[in-house]
Amino acid sequence: MTDIYSQQKRNRRITYSLMLGFFIFVVAIGLSVDVYTYGDLSAIGAGGSFRLPVATIAAFAFASINGFTSYFYGSSIVIRSLGAEELKFEDQSHKRFRNTVTEMALASGLPMPKTYVIADPAPNAFATGRDPAHSVVVVTQGLLDSMTREELQAVVAHEMGHIKTYDILTMTVVTVLVGTVSILSDWAMRTWRYGGIRPRRNIKDKGGIHPLILLFIGVFVLLSPIFSRIIAMSVSRNREYAADASAAQFTRNPLALASALKKIDAFTSPLKSARRATAHLFISDPLHRKLDDKEGFVADVFSTHPPIKERIRRLEAMGYAKAGGAG
């Protein structure tokens, strides 16, 4: 496994790069709208009259607020969007879950994360937060009802692996940014469809609108949701193998996670509250898309998780190797 501290640094670097890229992208959109409205940049303020670049300023403010929100409050947004609730300790399965998280926090050397449950029969789990001190582990009621204690330990250990490497920071920020890009794209589509933004000048003046500006706007409106989802998928797929290895390390029982993944894979109904923007957070694709069962370039780009059967094969190989070594 890659050195844990190198993974942490890499994840922080990816996260900050994504936030910076999102900030530049949104401001560029605002600037494009101002140029579309007023003409080229030299026309802003021409003739002694200053025209305030409203869209650019609004985009700057929006990107700044969104970046701050995604970093500090992204986990709260994710938890609310998925309908996760606090534990009910009169429920024995919730008590067992809390005790298991405590055990795995000690085994991994991490602070105790907050714990939530989603009232859904589909077995699944995810972790979120900005760092180990502000981390959250969420499981579905279906997972609690279907797992043995060893299997539950393995699933929680997998999520603790994501927490330890700061995967949670990257994946949580990506979730909020993907959702925001989708909202912006939808707003832009509706605005231009109903004529909400019109140029305040004669398009024929000064040669009209530069074709590259129109191309940029068109790409944003039509393709940005696709690009954002590809980013979300690409930052999550290979992380699952590393988290599986961490689970095997923390529990010293890779076969328990293999068994848990088999049960998760056998349940074919999707998680009701899951959406494409949050699918990459979970231990297994909550939408049960067939692409996640495939390998190759297309699957690497467009799927959120590696094939679950390959993950099981690797875990079983670890278990058999350990048993052989012990013998």
pLDDT (0 to 100) of residue 203:
46
pLDDT band with cut points at 50, 70 and 90 for residue 39: low
Main-chain phi, psi angles of 139, to 5 degrees: -130, 160
Cα distance between residue 299 and residue 313, in whole Å: 18
Q: Domain residues of the chain, as ranges?
A: 4-70+176-234, 85-168+237-326
The SS3 of residue 49 is: coil
Each residue of 263-277: pLDDT tens digit? 999 998 899 998 877
Cα distance between residue 84 and residue 126, in whole Å: 11
pLDDT band with cut points at 50, 70 and 90 for residue 299: low
CATH architecture of 85-168+237-326: 2-Layer Sandwich (3.30)
Name the percent of the chain lying above pLDDT 90: 43
Q: Which of 159, 240, 310, 316 is catalytic?
A: 159
pLDDT band with cut points at 50, 70 and 90 for residue 237: low
Each residue of 249-264: pLDDT tens digit? 999 999 999 999 999 9
Contact 116, 82 (CB under 8 A): no
User: Within 13 Å of residue 17, how many CA atoms lie on the same side as its CB?
Assistant: 8
Q: Please give the C-alpha separations between residue 100 and each of 93, 147, 160, 167, 256, in angstroms, as whole numbers.
A: 10, 12, 11, 21, 14
Angle between helices 167-193 and 239-251 (to 10 degrees): 150
Q: What DSSP designation does 282 have? A: B
pLDDT band with cut points at 50, 70 and 90 for residue 185: low
Cα distance between residue 204 and residue 133, in whole Å: 58
| Rounded mean pLDDT, 67-78 | 91
∠ Cα 138 303 74 (to 5°):
40
- Confirm whether 159 is a catalytic residue: yes
| pTM beyond cutoff 0.75 | yes
